Structure 1
Amino acid sequence: MALYARRTQGNQLLASEDLLETCFHPIVLLNISCGIEDIFYGSSQCSKLSLATVKEEESYRIASGKCSRNNFVSAVTFQEACANCTSAILDLKETLLNRSEVGDKKNNTERSICAVAAVVSVAAGQSDESGGLAMIDSFNRCLPAALDHDDDFIKIRYYVVKALLAILIAIGMLVFIIVVIKNVTKKKPLKPAKSQVITAWSGLYRFSKAEIEYAMDLDDHHGKVFLGRGSAGNVYKGILPSGQAVAIKHINKSNDYDSFKKEVEGLSRIRHQNLVSLVGFCVEDGEQYLVYEFCPAGNLAQHLLRKDTVLTWETRVRILRDCALALRYLHRYIDGCIVHRDIKLTNILLTEKMEPKLSDFGLAKMLGIEETKVFTDVRGTIGYMDPEYMSNAKLTCASDIYSFGIVALQLLSGQKAVELDLDARDQLTRKAKDVNMGKRPVSDFEDQTLKGNFNKADFQSILQVAVLCVSNTSIGRPNIGVVFDELDKIWKNTFSYKAKQGMSASAMSVSGSLEMISV
């Protein structure tokens, strides 16, 4: 609805009844009532408002600011951002009730539709569509905590969840119809797909085994395209009937179904621009598959190993900064800290724009809100594992910090080992600590392929952060908030430094041209 309001340039906040029926025709066929049919243009006083009209209100401006992506990122805690956003939404809802001149302000239907209108207008008014989607995601994650404080949030959640459920069911049915039509026209026979959306909260597509096999059968039946090996199985490239490229992980049969189900449920709830998204899954005939978004540039280890191209200093700093941002999201997740447990070069995938995305959550573990540590089986990749975790099986958020520090040292030094062993790890950390303490020159640690094309001060700042991250005890390591803040400052400084270099080069060019003219 937010996208509709945005793209109609403010003429209508909610879609018309006819358009709504068209969009959710598959739901009508299934005789399912989700409540979404009550939220259309003209169904109530608030539903007649336009986005342009709502934007005139001061309470809209306040809500738009407090619910923006920047507010959620800059807030000290997620709970603080939630409180500010939800309070502003409620104020806007009351404003819309008054503006619409609703006679009975205690009417539950009117109040609920005004609440939905408030959420839709704030999402539609964000600076871009991705910002609006991010706002909806953040706001929806705020709702569980808000339910304990205000009855109006129950109404907001009731209608928002119903709207999302209806959208997901509609998408599932439409994709099912498209897949069936395409498969009927193909020469290759397929079993009837049993595709469905697994649950209202997950939003995941359930693939049939036939669809999975068809997606992986590339290049005119010449076989599968192997991408890599994850913690729970091999990963292959796949192409969906829509033409979308995906990565399909075939889970090892040694993995039990409960752990597979836990991973699916966990991944379905987390969404971040620097985390690989889970598209769907398949469980059929004893086989288990996970379907992820595809990152065409491969993983970070492959780029450090390449000889034909070199990762620029700016790219390395941005990768570290964005990975820290993803870890901050996981460690500050509303239900408790999510420990990835397997941060390493090969689990950092890159998009075509060289933007990093953390992948492979097969070992991820969630600590409850009241838990700071948990004792569990020691699992992970040897060279990146927290020594404290390895010795006493005590898993904390600081375990990820250690692994992240190793990755940072590898990016600084250009360490070419894809998988570090303990000796290589110890040599790497020992050398880094010596350089940081001034016992060895920086040139002993820097990646020679950079040929000195980096800011020395920023290099030493990242080295200092990384050395703190690889402290042998968790007490000596900074939390992810501190790590991100430092890397964000370094990234901004790097960006500014690059801009100044470009201006200096332009000035020299102009100066040279003037000299030639004077001669």
Structure 2
Amino acid sequence: MERLSYLKSINVSFNDLEGEIPSGGVFVNYSLQSFLGNKGLCGVHIVEVPACTNPGQQSKSKERKEISKMWKSSGSVYQGTLSGGSVVAIKVLDLQSEEVCKRFDTECEVMRNVRHKNLVPVITTCSSDYIRAFPLQYMSNGNLENWLYREDCQLNLLQRITVMLDVAMATEYLHHENDTPIVHCDLKPTNVLLDEYMVAHVGDFGISKILAVSKSIAHTETLGTLGYIAPEYGLEGIVSTSGDVYSYGIMLMEVFTKRRPTDEEICNENLDLMKWITQSFSGTMLEVVDAYLIPEEEQITSKSEICIASMVELALDCTLEIPESRITMKDVVKRLNKIKNSFLES
């Protein structure tokens, strides 16, 4: 990261990092405030940080290895500031994994050819012997999963409809508005990021597939996330746009019920999220949707109930077992727009 000449500030606090703090580039003239919560760090150019036992003796490869142990996935995301004052997110990949490097190449190939208001904008890419990174537009409201499960974050019914419409439009663009269809392969709440205006953006194309013009399906050995994977994807490695539709439908159920597809209570009853909702659909949907969907100060209206039922019905149409029976993302966008407009009518 010393080599990123346009990066003017960085803060890696509370990442539990260890090793020697670099002494060049963006790390010059920085104070302890940029490195709080990293007890294993050492260095010589920051007064408050202890000196390393053997400064300068570790090889770069060993330093990277030690840092990578602290990462929970294929890499880490940092917040930085460019010379013009713009805040960016910097996604840095773990170079120790050959699979991660392949994902970097895939993501570069996908992002090179797509532009849509509901996709996470990639500012540029950084690739060398020492780093694979994406400076991305910073999304100040984090990801959708935080808004579903953190107690200090709540989304009302209209906000959830709007967010899922944003995701649907992004996915429709990938499937239907490119010369070759692009399958995301890992649609889930953590890959949906929200900007300062609560507009949703789909990101993380590391395992995406670009389908050949003459083919509507492909095969892969790289799986997405348990619970969101379509049956044909998980069993046979078949990748198609219908697989994304299935994942979208699961996420739609999760957004309205605040239940993960791997929810322990549901799994203990030998059910999955679809079966659990289907059993409840014959009764009142208000018993299974998230209690915060409609704030206490607002009354539940018939319009709200119709809207919720329509959204759940849409989710079930997305998650039919046979891929050919599922609706397309074009159909999803049309139906969501109709549901949202009906809900907003006075």
Same structural fold, with TM-score higher than 0.5 when normalized by the shorter chain = yes
Give the drift of 1:423.
Answer: 3.2
Contact 1:275 1:358 survives alignment (8 Å): yes
- Specify which of 267, 274, 279 is matched with residue 429 of structure 1: 274
Find the counterpart in structure 2 of residue 7 from structure 1: none
* Aligned-partner residue type, residue 402 of structure 1: Y
* Amino acid in the other structure paired with 1:306: R
Q: Which residue of 1 aligns with 2:252?
A: 408
Structure 2 equivalent of residue 356 of structure 1: 200
* CA positional deviation for 1:265: 2.8
Give a deviation string over 1:96-153, Cα, whole Å, max 9, x none: xxxxxxxxxxxxxxxxxxxxxxxxxxxxxxxxxxxxxxxxxxxxxxxxxxxxxxxxxx
1:152 corresponds in structure 2 to: none
Identity of aligned residues (%): 27
Q: How many residues align?
A: 290
Match status 1:221 vs 2:34? yes
Quick one: distance in 1 between partners of 2:82 and 2:261?
A: 31
Q: Return the offset for 1:354.
A: 0.9
| Contact residue 345 and residue 407 of structure 1 kept, 8 A | yes
Mark the CA change 1:427 to 1:314 in structure 2 (over 3 Å): closer, same or farther.
Answer: same
Secondary structure of the structure 2 residue equivalent to 1:279: coil
1:242 matched to which residue of 2?
84
> What secondary structure, in the 3-state scheme, does the structure 2 residue paired with 1:349 have?
strand
Which TM-score applies when normalising by structure 2?
Answer: 0.75
Give CA-to-partner distance per residue, 1:406-441, whole Å, 9 cap, x none.
1110111122x49768938943211222233x2x32
Contact 1:232–1:362 under 8 Å retained in 2:
no
Partner of 2:319: 470
Task: Give the 3-state SS of the residue equivalent to 1:278 in structure 2.
Answer: coil
The residue that corresponds to 2:17 in the other structure is: none
Report if the CA contact (8 A) 1:218-1:224 is conserved. no
Q: Within the alignment, does 1:489 sit opposite 2:338 as a pair?
A: yes
Unaligned runs of 5+ in 2: 10-21, 39-70
1:316 corresponds to which residue? Answer: 160
Q: Secondary structure at the match of 1:280?
A: coil
Q: Is the 8 A contact 2:258 2:289 kept in 1?
A: yes
The alpha-carbon distance between structure 1 residues 485 and 324, as it changes in their structure 2 partners (threshold 3 A), is same
1:262/1:441 Cα in 2 relative to 1: closer, same or farther (>3 Å)? Answer: closer
Paired with 1:380 and 1:429, the residues of 2 have a C-alpha distance of 18
Match of 2:291 in 1: 448
User: Quick one: distance in 2 between partners of 1:344 and 1:218?
Assistant: 37
Q: Structure 1 residues 219 and 347, CA, compared in 2 at 3 Å: closer, same or farther? A: farther
For 2:342 and 2:286, locate their aligned partners in 1 and report how far apart those are by CA, in whole Å: 21
Distance between the aligned counterparts of 1:268 and 1:230, measured in 2? 27
Mapped partners of 1:477, 1:448: distance in 2: 29
Give the whole-Å Cα distance in 1 for the aligned partners of 2:158 and 2:135: 31
Change (3 A) 1:468 1:230: farther
- Bigger proportion of residues as strand: 2
CA distance in 2, matches of 1:260, 1:353: 29
C-alpha change, 1:336 and 1:300, in structure 2 (3 Å) is: same
In structure 1, give the amino acid aligned to 2:292.
T
Q: CA deviation at 1:319?
A: 0.7
Does 1:279 pair with 2:123? yes
- Partner of residue 347, structure 1: 191
**Residue 363 of structure 1 aligns to which amino acid in structure 2?**
I
List gaps (5 residues or longer) in structure 1.
1-174, 184-188, 192-209, 501-519
Could you tell me whether the CA contact under 8 Å between 2:156 and 2:292 is conserved in 1? no
User: Is the Cα contact below 8 Å between 1:299 and 1:348 reproduced in 2?
Assistant: yes
TM normalised by structure 1 equals 0.51
Greater RCO structure (CA 8 Å; 6+ sep): 2
- Tell me the residue number matched to 1:65: none
1:293 and 1:450 map into 2 onto residues whose CA distance is 29
**How far off is 1:290 after superposition?**
1.2
Give, in angstroms, the shift of residue 224 of structure 1: 9.1
How big is the shift at 1:450? 2.7
Corresponding position of 1:394:
238
Question: What residue identity is the alignment partner of 2:158?
Answer: E
